[in-house]
Amino acid sequence: MPTVINVIASEATVTGDSDQPGHLEGYGVIDAEQVRELADTAMLQLVECPTVTPEEATGFPLSGFLTVDVGHVEPTDPGTALGLRRPHRQ
């Protein structure tokens, strides 16, 4: 019985011209070597990449989003998370 898995990867990764990782549906990121191992025995179906705007890809208008500069964060400062300090409880 055939098994169907969906792997998204660039053609260059499949042919060995790139080490860019691929994506295995239901699992996540897989390295380029794994992509090629799966492709060696698979029936391949090439698809064209659609051209979409960020708004089309996310479904949200991105022009209304704020950009926040959190500044420099010292990783050794335990009270800092993403540049924001937690309020002290008394």
pLDDT of residue 47: 78
Which parts of the chain register pLDDT below 50? 76-88
pTM score: 0.53
Q: What are phi and psi of 28, to 5 degrees?
A: 130, -150
Report d(CA 14, CA 44) in Å as an integer: 10
Report d(CA 35, CA 64) in Å as an integer: 38
* H-assigned helices in the chain: 11-15, 32-40, 54-58
